[in-house]
Amino acid sequence: MTFNVQNISISDNLELAAAVEAAAAETSKHDGIDPFSEQFLFGLRDARLNHQHWIIESAGKVEAVAASDGSSAELFVIPDARQQGRGIALLDAVLPTPVWAHGNFDGAQALAQAKGLRITRHLLVMAIEEDALKAAAQKPQTELVVANYAQSVERFGKEHVEKQWLKSNNQAFSWHPEQGGWDIERLHRGMEPDWFDEEDVIFFWDVPADSAQPLPEMAGFHWTKWHDEVSPGFGEVYVVGLSDDYRGRRLGGPLLNAGLQRMVEKGATRVILYVEADNEPAVKAYERLGFEIAENHVVYEISDMAEEI
């Protein structure tokens, strides 16, 4: 069966962007997992991201969508249009770009096998709930100053806070393809979504005892996220990072505790986080805290040298 795969700009067409968002929401409701990640959803309306899109429609209804940011791609087919060849048509359009499979369902595995693709990255979603969450949401045990973004800006000034935040983030994620190498524009873009709350970003500050000393160094941060797109809402350990000079001081646990405490204060009975599957020490640490694996997300790509994870 042959399909008309349209390579089309979505970010300058609000009606089409809304139709794709509706198709993604329909797919998410059926599968229990969002088919597009946050950045790819943003790319439907934000032309600054320069995402490329491919769409298959029928009788004015969006049936399948693929998107690429140049380094990776994502695609989905609505439930009623599956197993008819739309997925393979979109996959052919985006390859050889590496492709995310959120949930790594049987259909995604079948497409990957048909095209000879291998898994080159495996991302886990882990979740903690109810009593285990309450037990982990402890007041952080640290001599460092704990303050959220709003409190920090009031005390130390916006310029210093954001400069330190960028420094800490880029040191912690120098290796990361999405989170590393940020500049101030990228940081501000991350703060644009409606869900961003200045009080949901927790910083650990190393404040000099002598008030005459320079402004403090940021030891680390815990950026949390509140999800209200479903009811009841839930929390997310969005980003946790430590500055280079503060690693090896056992601050990771207190940072995690501080963010979980914030989420519980907002009413969370469930908190999730994302972690690379091959980061075994982190996975085991989260499991000891009470987190369990809830979802699997993988990247497929063409690579004779790739090793299955």
The annotation status of 95 as a binding-site residue, yes or no, is no
Sheet of strand 270-276: strand arrangement: 6-8, 52-58, 61-68, 73-77, 99-102, 292-301, 118-129, 270-276, 234-242, 217-227, 201-206, 145-148
CA distances from residue 143 to 61, 204, 251 in whole angstroms, order as listed: 57, 9, 10
Instruction: List beta partners, residue 129.
Output: 270
The annotation status of 134 as a binding-site residue, yes or no, is no
The annotation status of 240 as a binding-site residue, yes or no, is yes
The annotation status of 280 as a binding-site residue, yes or no, is yes
Answer for the pair 178, 189: CB distance below 8 angstroms, yes or no: no
The annotation status of 146 as a binding-site residue, yes or no, is no
The annotation status of 26 as a binding-site residue, yes or no, is no
Distance of CA 121 to the CA centre of its chain: 14
The annotation status of 193 as a binding-site residue, yes or no, is no
The annotation status of 178 as a binding-site residue, yes or no, is yes
The annotation status of 284 as a binding-site residue, yes or no, is yes
The annotation status of 236 as a binding-site residue, yes or no, is yes
Q: Which residue type occupies 125?
A: V
* Helix 106-115 / helix 86-94 crossing angle, nearest 10 deg: 60
Q: Identify which of 93, 98, 92, 99 has the alpha carbon closest to the alpha carbon of residue 115.
A: 92
Q: Report the distance separating Cα 248 and Cα 266, nearest Å.
A: 30
The annotation status of 77 as a binding-site residue, yes or no, is yes
* Binding residue ranges for acetyl-CoA: 75-77, 240-242, 279-284
* Binding residue ranges: 38, 75-77, 178, 225, 236, 240-242, 274, 279-284
